[in-house]
A and B are shown apart, each in its own frame.
Chain A
Amino acid sequence: MNVILYDTKGVLKKYMASSELFCNARTTCFDADRRTVTLLLHGDQITIELLSFSDNKEIISKAANFLCSRQLKSNLLASNKIEAVYTDTDLLNALKMAGCGGLQPDLLLVYGPARCHLGFPAWRLRYTEIMYMGPLKSMKHGAIVKAIYDFSNRNKN
C-alpha cells in the first residue's frame, strides 16, 4: 500500500527522521533523500511518501529546466537546431528525475478549515477523488474507514 502525507510547509518531512514510528531500524527503510519510507507494520508493507508545497510548481519548473538543458545540449551537438516537441512521458520522466514523479493517489482525504487541495502536486492529482474530512483536530479512525468504504462503493458502481 502507498500512502502520501502532504502538508504545505513541509513540517512532516522536517520531523520525519526523529519520529518514533520511523526510527525502528528493523522495520523501516528510508530512501536516499529521506522523503519516502517503507514500513513493515503487522506483516504489511506500507510506503509513506512525504510531500509539501515545494513539490508542486517548483518541481515542475525543475523538470522544465532539465528538459530545456537537455535540448540545448543536443542542439549544441547537432548541426541543425531542432525545436523539441515534448510529450507527457518526457515530462513525467523529468518529474521523476526531479524527485516527484510517483504514483497518482486514488483518494485524497483533505483535513483543514475548507475544501481545497492546498497545492498538492498537480501532476498527481488528475483523477484523484478528493474528500473533505473537516478540521485536522477532528480526525478519527472511523471517519477514515467510512471514507475508504464510500470510495470503494463508488468505484464498484
Chain B
Amino acid sequence: MKYKRQNNFKSSSNIFGRIWFSMRMFLFNVLSFGPLPAHIAFIMDGNRRYSKKHNSKEDTGHNAGFSSLISTLQYCYELGVKYVTVYAFSIDNFKRKPDEVRSLMNLLKEKIDELLEETSVINKYDIRVNFWGELNLLTEPVRLAAKKAMTVTGKNTGPVLSVCVAYTSTHEILHAVQESCANVNKMLAERYSNECINSAEGLVSVADLEQHLYSGSCPEPDIVVRTSGETRLSNFLLWQTPYCHLQNPGALWPEFSLWHLVWSILQYQRAYSSLQERRMRSKKTY
C-alpha cells in the first residue's frame, strides 16, 4: 500500500519536481515486484562526524540529519513502508557534555514543533507519531512537545513514525518487566496466598512482557539500518530483532539518500526467503 502519491505529484511545485517524483514512483514500482519491508528501523549515526567532515559546528550535522530523516521518511512512505522507527537519543547520550545535551534538547523541541506544522511530512501522509523511551528524563519543553505530538497525531490512520528518545533496549525490557510485575501484583492483591507466591512459574510470560514493551503495538522490524558503517546495535530494539536484517552502510546519516534506501531494500529482498524460513521455524518451535 502506498501513501498519498497523487497529492505528492500535484504538490511538486515545478516540472523537475514532477519528473523526479515520477522517476521515484517508477523505481518503487519495480522494487515492489519483490517483498517489501513493513517496518524499517534506523540508527541515525554520523551527524557529528558529518559536521567535522565539513568543518562546521555540530548543529550543522544535526540539522542535516533532520533533513535526511524527512526525505527518508517520505521515500519510505511512498514505497509503502507502514512503520518507521528511528533512534534519536539514547539514555547513554545524557553522559555527553552538558552544553551538547542542552543543544540537542533544544534541537529536539524545535524539530518536534516543525513536524507538527501544517506543511510537514506528518500532515502530508497522515502519520501517527510515537515517542518511545523514558520521557521523564527529557527536559520539560521537550517532554511536553513529545506528548503534544502524540496527542495531535494519535487519531491519524496513515503510517507510523516511532521516535526513540531517552531510550535503550535494556531500559525498555526493564520497563516491561516492571509493568508486568505491577499487573501481577494488582491481580493477586486480593487473591494471593502462600501457594501462589511459592510458585514463581507462570506469573509473567513472554507474551506479557511483549505487551508491555514500548513497541507493543508495532510489528517487529524487518530491517535495521545503522549508518556510518558501525556494526553495533548500541542497545536498540534488541528484543524485537531476532530475524531482522541488520545493515550497516558506510554513509553518514546526513548522506543517506534514496539510493542507499533502494540498495537496502534490494539487500533485504535477497535475504528475505532465508529470514522468513527461520522466522516460521521459530514460531513452530516456540
- Contact partners of A119 in chain B: CB under 8 A: 242-243, 282
**How many residue pairs, one in A and one in B, have C-beta atoms under 8 Å apart?**
141
| Interface assignment of B234: CB less than 8 Å from any CB of chain A | yes
Q: List 30 A-B contacts (CB under 8 A).
A: A8-B278, A53-B285, A58-B206, A60-B209, A61-B206, A61-B209, A64-B209, A65-B201, A65-B203, A68-B180, A68-B200, A72-B184, A73-B197, A87-B174, A91-B177, A113-B271, A115-B245, A116-B275, A118-B278, A120-B242, A122-B169, A122-B170, A122-B173, A122-B238, A125-B233, A126-B168, A126-B234, A127-B234, A129-B231, A132-B246
**Is B185 a contact of A126 with CB atoms below 8 Å?**
no
Binding site for B on A (CB under 8 A): 8-9, 53-54, 56-58, 60-61, 63-69, 71-73, 75-76, 81, 83-88, 91, 112-120, 122-123, 125-132
Using an 8 Å CB-CB cutoff, how does the interface string of B259-286 with A read, 1 for contact, 0 for none? Answer: 0000000000001001100100010011
**Is B201 a contact of A126 with CB atoms below 8 Å?**
no
| Interface assignment of B152: CB less than 8 Å from any CB of chain A | no
Residue with the highest number of chain B CB atoms closer than 10 Å, among A8, A63, A66, A115: A115
On whether A130 and B246 interact (CB within 8 A), knowing A60-B177, A68-B180, A85-B178, the answer reads: yes
**Is B174 a contact of A131 with CB atoms below 8 Å?**
no
**Is B233 a contact of A126 with CB atoms below 8 Å?**
yes
Residue with the highest number of chain A CB atoms closer than 10 Å, among B170, B194, B196: B170
- Contact partners of B209 in chain A: CB under 8 A: 57, 60-61, 64
- Contact partners of A85 in chain B: CB under 8 A: 178
For residue B104, give the distance in angstroms from its CB to the closest CB of chain A.
Answer: 21
**Is B274 a contact of A112 with CB atoms below 8 Å?**
yes
For residue A108, give the distance in angstroms from its CB to the closest CB of chain B.
Answer: 9
**Is A114 a contact of B245 with CB atoms below 8 Å?**
yes
**Is A71 a contact of B271 with CB atoms below 8 Å?**
no
Binding site for A on B (CB under 8 A): 168-171, 173-174, 177-178, 180-182, 184-185, 188-189, 192, 194, 196-206, 208-209, 231-235, 238-239, 241-247, 271, 274-275, 278, 282, 285-286
| A91→B174 CA distance, assembly (Å) | 7
For residue B246, give the distance in angstroms from its CB to the closest CB of chain A.
Answer: 5
**Is B246 a contact of A68 with CB atoms below 8 Å?**
no
| A8→B275 CA distance, assembly (Å) | 13
Q: Which A residue's beta carbon lies closest to that of B238?
A: A122
On whether A86 and B245 interact (CB within 8 A), knowing A72-B188, A125-B233, the answer reads: no
Q: Which A residue's beta carbon lies closest to that of B200?
A: A69
**Is B203 a contact of A69 with CB atoms below 8 Å?**
yes
